[in-house]
Amino acid sequence: MEKRSGTDRNGSGAAQRGLWRLMLKLPAMRGRLQLLAAKSPSLNDLFEAYDEASATVERMSRDRARDECPLLEEYETVCAEIESDVIHYVLKHPLNVPD
Amino acid sequence: MNAEVHDLKACEVSIDDARAELERLLSDSRFRVTERQKDILRYLAERRFNGCDEGVKAYSVALDVLGRPSGFDASTDPIVRIEISRLRSALDAYYQAFGSTGGVTIHIPKGMYIALFPGTLIAHEPDEEAHGVFDLAGFDGAQDRSIPGSQLAIRQRGRGLKLAGVAAAAALVLGVAALAGVEFFGQQVVITKRPTVYILMEAAEARMQGEASQTRDALMTALTQFTTLTVAKAGYADIRSVERSGRSYEITIKYYGDADDRSVWWQIADSSTGDLLKSGLEKIDTSGKSPALIREEMAGELATRFAATRGVINNIEIHGSPEEALGNVCVLRAEYALDEGGRDQVAQSRDCLERSLAKAPADPDATALLSRVLLALPGSPDEGDMRSRALELAKAAVSSAPLSDRAYVSLMAAQFASGRTEAAVRAGNRAVELNPNNSDAAAKLALVLYSAGYKDAGVATAHDAGRLVENAPRDAMLVLALDAYASGRYSDAALLAEQINCTDFLVSTLRTAALGQLNSPDAPERLAEIKSKDPDFERSFAERVAGWHLQPDIAAGLEAGLAKAGAQIDAGAVASVKTP
């Protein structure tokens, strides 16, 4: 039951954090990502999902060894899939802006 | 949030249009989602089509679609939120890029796990949710019902059909009730179905994962061979579907392995409540066995534990179902009654099965059991007709369920009762082939073989049937007891017959005859017990023997033992009886 702040531009703090995480992960697409995030509200859900999946990977990696936590690999795969989805989206929506 | 959902619901399309859009979208390669997300979308949609208007819980999605164990905790494993967010994003991106076809779209609102099918394009606006609360449990169904504008097109059209159906059904019920004088007012008969099980097996250690996975596959095969349960597909189990009226169970299994043994810990939980119902541990010795044999042995042991008529789940089904329930529970109760030999229980089972078949005439399980029950009720004036009907029913059961061991067991019994011994043995062999782990079928085949004169084969099959399970089935014990009696080992025969937990006349007769042969002082007492149940026992003994289809030498031996116990049976009465 997550309360939304309602103050950030992307509709939720989780979406904003997810966007920042993706900008760190995909530095070559930083500029385009920011512009698309402002234009495409449908990306917010993807950013939120990325934030939550990345946070879960960090928590699981911190708390337990890899072989004790079979879900870690699953969440790493989810993160990789979301990165791939975002890259696909960015490439499909060219903005002609510098990165 | 609620207002948004209410507005969307108000403009939803019909179920047919919604289903068409779902199928179109799922088959469109431009809709970029993983198979798992497609499964989630289908699950949400099916739940909606089945009348679930208030959304589903993350727990349901996790267990039914993602294959998570019953201990799933969304606070530490947020996979459902993540996958739903990705799916929502993919839906919005798709409709933004390609628009809707025929004006229908699929939408998953924020804060709820529900599929909506509005007739207009819905896109998320960032500010739209600025003050929303991400609360899955926050949706108030009562409020929904209070807003006239929220009446669903799906519901309206569905209700229209349902109302017409209900009116027609009510008229039919009234007509039938008026004709038959049936009490219907206020009564709602529960029709039970086979329970559905969902299996989750994991290895205790990563190195055993491959072995555990192969054992799981073998277990799935062994469970489906029993045909007493519906086994849900791995990873995507619509076990909570409203359409299923049977209960559903989750079986969680953990696989352990040491150098010379393999063991599994299992637990069964009720899917709807999450309550833990039963738990246990099975262990097998691996020394000298190939990996394939170990797998088969473990799978067979577990399948028998879970799916046999006297297995854990069917036991829960029998005791957890209402007394007056029809359907699958009647089948199970009939199998128990036949095993225990109580005439009253068998007669009750007949009634239950006849009523179940009146509601669902094509049910092969009820058909098969009714056939066996009819044969277990001898002494009726129309015994010949009963045997013919039993044979017809058994054939119908085999015809509609050719892979059911239950159906073949009934065919074996009906053919044997009709004097077609060879055909009965063939049917019994087929039942055992279809489900090698069904020790009851093997034991029944053993009794048919032994009674028909194939004594060595009967005894060997009875030993095999007894090896499969902890407690040897009744018919296997009976064969061994009969064989001990026929070989003059009366003490063994008496001991084996005492161990058979039933009130069947053949078993009682065998006990008494063995004690009679031993000149035991208990023999007259046992004879008195038989007479108390059937005062006409001595006079009708020859007819009973004919009904058991025993070989003449065995029947004559029993007669001699009963005479020693003090029974007044006409000398040579049994010899005059025609046996197969």
pLDDT digits (tens, 9 = 90+) for B459-469: 999 998 887 66
Kindly report which listed range (B45-59, B189-203, B215-229, B231-245) carries the lowest average pLDDT score.
B231-245
Q: pLDDT band at B285, cuts 50/70/90?
A: confident
Contact B82 A49 (CB under 8 A): yes
For residue B303, the model assigns a pLDDT of 92
CA–CA distances in Å: residue A29 to residues A23, A88, B452, B527: 7, 11, 82, 93
pLDDT digits 0-9 by tens, B10-27: 788 888 889 999 999 999
Average of pLDDT values for B482-499?
A: 91
The tokens of B225 are what?
């061979």
Q: Do A4 and B83 touch (CB under 8 A)?
A: no
Q: Please tell me the predicted confidence (pLDDT) of residue B465.
A: 87
Asked if residue B503 has pLDDT above 80, the reply is no
Q: How confident is the model at residue A78 (pLDDT cuts 50, 70, 90)?
A: very high
Report the residue of chain A nearest B112, measured CA to CA: A1
Nearest CA in chain B to A6: B130
Mean pLDDT of B442-455: 93
* Per-residue pLDDT tens digits for B479-488: 999 999 999 9
What secondary structure letter does DSSP report for B207? G
| pLDDT score at B168 | 46
Mean pLDDT is lowest, of A81-95, B155-169, B381-395, for: B155-169
Least confident of A69-78, B140-149, B336-345, B452-461: B140-149
Q: Is some CB atom of chain A closer than 8 A to the CB atom of B88?
A: yes
Contact B315, B329 (CB under 8 A): no
Check residues B100 and B374 and name the one with the higher pLDDT. Answer: B374
Three-point CA angle B492, B494, B499, nearest 5°:
95
Q: Is the pLDDT reported for residue A12 higher than 50? A: yes
Q: How many CB pairs under 8 A join A and B?
A: 90
Residue B226's contacts (CB-CB under 8 Å, 6 or more residues apart) are: B303, B307, B308, B405, B435, B437, B438
Residues 6+ apart with CB under 8 A from B249: B195, B196, B197, B198, B268, B269, B270, B271, B277, B313, B316
Q: Is B126 on the interface with A (CB under 8 A)?
A: yes
Contact status, residue B466 vs residue B496, Cβ threshold 8 Å: no
User: Is B92 within 8 Å of A42 when comparing Cβ atoms?
Assistant: yes
**How large is the C-alpha radius of gyration of chain B?**
30
Q: Is pLDDT above 90 for B531?
A: no
Instruction: Please check the confidence at residue B173 and state whether its pLDDT lies above 80.
Output: no
To the nearest 10 degrees (0 to 180), the angle between helices B153-180 and B15-27 is: 120
The pLDDT, as a whole number, for residue B580 is: 42
pLDDT for position B242? 41
- Say how far apart CA A3 and CA B110 lie, in whole Å: 12
B518: three-class secondary structure by DSSP:
coil
Burial of B6 (0-12, 13-18, 19+ CB in 10 A): middle
pLDDT at B245: 53
Q: Chain A contact for B136, CB < 8 A?
A: yes
**Residue B473's CB: how many other CB atoms inside 10 A?**
27
Tokens of B114: 């529900």
Q: Locate A48 and state its tokens.
A: 């939120």
Least confident of A15-19, B149-153, B360-364, B467-471: B149-153
Contacts of B56 (CB under 8 A, 6+ apart): B43, B44, B47, B113, B114, B240
Beta strand extents in B364-445 (DSSP E only): none
DSSP state for residue B570 in the 8-state scheme: P
Q: Which residues of A touch B32 (CB under 8 A)?
A: 85, 88
Please name the member of A4, A74, A92 whose beta carbon is closest to the beta carbon of B132.
A4
More confident residue, B337 or B380: B337
Identity of the residue in A3, A40, A45 whose CB atom sits nearest the CB atom of B85: A45
For chain B, the average pLDDT equals: 80
- Residue B357: predicted pLDDT: 92
First to last CA, chain A: 36
Dist. CA B495–CA B483, nearest whole Å: 13
**Contact between B368 and B406 (Cβ < 8 Å):** yes
Per the structure block, which two tokens stand in for A7? 């103050």
pLDDT at A30 over 70: yes
- Whether the Cβ atoms of residue B223 and residue B276 lie closer than 8 Å to each other: no
Sign, Cα dihedral of B548, B551, B557, B559:
positive
Q: Which span out of B139-148, B158-167, B198-207 was modeled with the highest average pLDDT?
A: B198-207
Check pLDDT > 80 for residue B46: yes
Determine which helix (DSSP H) or strand (DSSP E) holds B145, and give its type and residue range: helix B141-146
Tell me: pLDDT of B255 over 80.
Answer: yes
Q: Read off the pLDDT of residues A53-69 as tens digits, 9 standing for 90 and up.
A: 999 999 998 887 766 77
Bridge partners (DSSP) of residue B284 are B262
DSSP state of A99: -
Copy the structure tokens of residue B523.
């023999």
pLDDT value at A42 more than 50: yes
Question: Which pLDDT score, from 0 to 100, does residue B234 have?
Answer: 57
Q: What pLDDT, on the 0 to 100 scale, is given for residue B332?
A: 94
Q: Pick the closest to residue A77 from B288, B429, B34 (CA basis).
A: B34
In the prediction, which pLDDT does B571 show?
59
- Contact B32/A88, CB-based, under 8 Å? yes
Q: Is the pLDDT of residue B399 over 50?
A: yes
Q: Using CA atoms, how far apart are residues B443 and B172, in angstroms rounded to an integer?
A: 45
Please state which of the ranges B78-92, B121-135, B284-298, B481-495 shows the lowest mean pLDDT: B121-135
pLDDT at A6 over 60: no
- Which of the two residues, B101 and B563, has the higher pLDDT score? B563
Judge whether B390 and B407 are in contact, CB under 8 Å.
no
Least confident of A28-42, B187-201, B209-223: B187-201
ipTM: 0.86
Choose among B115, B112, B87: nearest CA to B31.
Answer: B87
Determine contact, residues A32/A21, Cβ cutoff 8 Å.
no
Start-end of H helices in B290-417:
291-307, 312-320, 328-340, 343-359, 364-375, 383-400, 405-417
Q: How far is A45 from chain B (nearest CA, A)?
A: 5
Burial of B519 (0-12, 13-18, 19+ CB in 10 A): exposed
B18 vs B276, higher pLDDT: B18
pLDDT tens string B175-189 = 444 433 343 334 467
**pLDDT surpassing 90 at residue B287:** no
Please report the pLDDT score of residue B468 as a whole number: 64
| Helix (H), strand (E) at residue B80 | helix B79-98
Share of chain B above pLDDT 90, in %: 31
Confidence of residue B140 (pLDDT cuts 50, 70, 90): very low
Q: What is the CA radius of gyration of chain A?
A: 14
Least confident range of B28-32, B418-422, B491-495, B541-545: B541-545
- The rounded Cα A62 to chain-centroid distance in angstroms is 20
**What b/e string do you get for A38-66 counting C-beta neighbours within 10 Å, with b at 16 or more?**
eebbbbbbbbbbbbbbbbbbeebeeeeee
